[in-house]
Structure 1
Amino acid sequence: MLKIGHGNSVNENRIIAIVSPDSNPIKRMIHAAADDERLIEATMGRRTRAVIVMDSGHVVTSSVGYEILAGRLGGVKDV
């Protein structure tokens, strides 16, 4: 399990991507997930610093930075 802040965690085997929330395509993905009831907000009212895309189609927002989460997961993999 990957701890994503505020006592929340996600199954690391089901993560497709951990990305920054700053780009417009990611913002659109967050809004689409909210409309489809696939958004899980784990920010506890704080600023979103990472977006986690799950293999189930769910989108999880976290207030922990995406670089920190990638480090906890085992590092950043360049493609």
Structure 2
Amino acid sequence: MAQAPRGGTELVHVGFGNFLAVNKVLAIVTPSSAPIQRMIREGKKAKNIIDITSGRRTKAAVFV
């Protein structure tokens, strides 16, 4: 994890040069269940998802 400056936001590296703010993460789930896969599919259609997989297999879905 990256160390946060005083009063700043702590960031965690999630791969491929991408970072997430730790205090914004609500849940981390595996995309293997049908409801999560449906949420991902519908989110892609509605343009509500940020895909940071760089074309690789999805191992986790992070809700922020």
TM-score normalised per structure 1: 0.65
State the one-letter code of the partner of 2:34: N
- How many residue pairs are counted as aligned between the two chains? 54
Consecutive unaligned residues of structure 1, counting only runs of 5 or more, are 55-79
Higher strand share: 1
- 5+ long unaligned stretches in structure 2: 1-10
1:35 maps to 2:45: yes
Task: Tell me which structure has the larger Cα radius of gyration.
Answer: 2
Bigger share in helix: 1
RMSD, matched Cα:
0.8
Runs of 4+ in 1 over 3 A off after TM superposition: none
Identity %: 39
